[in-house]
Amino acid sequence: MPDKWDETIDVIRQIPLFEQVTDDTLAFGLSRRDYRFKSFSKNSVVHFSGEVCEYIEIVVRGRMSLERIDEDGRVMSVAEFFKGDVIGGNLVFSKRPRYPMTITAKETTEVFIVEKNSLFELLCKNEAVLASFLTFISDNAILLGNKIRNDVNRSIRDIIMRFLEVESKRQNSSRIRLPMSKKALADKIGVQRTSLSRELSRMRDDGLITFDAHYIERLAPKD
């Protein structure tokens, strides 16, 4: 996030959706943390499949990828998001606001977050912002239909390992108690349960993990 207030406003002003928003509105949103910046490191999972969408994100810099994982654990990049693109605009006001696929940062990425309630208030008060927002989500819907790509040779193993890394840090332990059933975990990372079980077994055979019905333990690499 920019260090100085003026720099922060300048960055926000470069986002087309906020070109006509007043400084007072921006200041109020920033003070309440309804508007904020967030950074993601390269290859980190931004959102898992099935995760609830509670705000929109606008890419300030970097690149993200919307990915679908098939039953064999192969990943297909459905769409990519670059500077100025809106993520979650077509989900945040849905009755079922869950990400249908996993979103990953393909390089160091920074986004500008706008909470749902503040976005609704902003759209109600500013017709120009409303028109711009509708254009964004309409264009994104078209792009998602046109950006289907060929399968890429990448296993679901990386996504499982990233999930375990996040939970390991959260639980402060290499022995991770699963916060959900394996079926729910499979839904969260966007694969079928059989694919998850098959990959977990492969990872156990490769000496990366041990697991039972409730725990997965990450094993230290062998010398």
Residue 1 tokens read as 């996030």
Q: What pLDDT does residue 64 have?
A: 92
Q: What pLDDT does residue 156 have?
A: 80
> What does the DSSP assignment read for the chain?
--SSHHHHHHHHHTSGGGTT--HHHHHHHHHTTSEEEEEE-TT-EEE-TT-B--EEEEEEES-EEEEEE-TTS-EEEEEEE-TT-EESTTTTTSSS-B-SSEEEESSSEEEEEEEHHHHHHHHHH-HHHHHHHHHHHHHHHHHHHH----EES--THHHHHHHHHHHHHHHTSSEEEPSS-HHHHHHHHTS-HHHHHHHHHHHHHTTSEEE-SSEEEEPPPP-
Q: For domain 157-218, say whether CATH 3.20.110.20 is its number.
A: no
pTM of the model: 0.59
Q: What pLDDT does residue 150 have?
A: 36
Q: What pLDDT does residue 222 have?
A: 67
**Fold entry, domain 5-152:** Jelly Rolls (2.60.120)
Per-residue pLDDT of the chain (223 residues; tens, 9 = 90+): 444 556 677 777 777 778 777 778 777 777 777 888 899 999 899 999 899 999 999 898 999 988 876 655 566 667 788 888 889 988 999 999 999 889 999 999 999 999 999 889 888 888 888 888 888 777 766 665 554 443 444 578 887 888 888 888 888 999 999 888 888 777 666 677 888 899 999 999 999 999 998 899 998 876 5
The structural domains of the chain, with segments of one domain joined by +, span 5-152, 157-218
Q: What pLDDT does residue 5 have?
A: 57
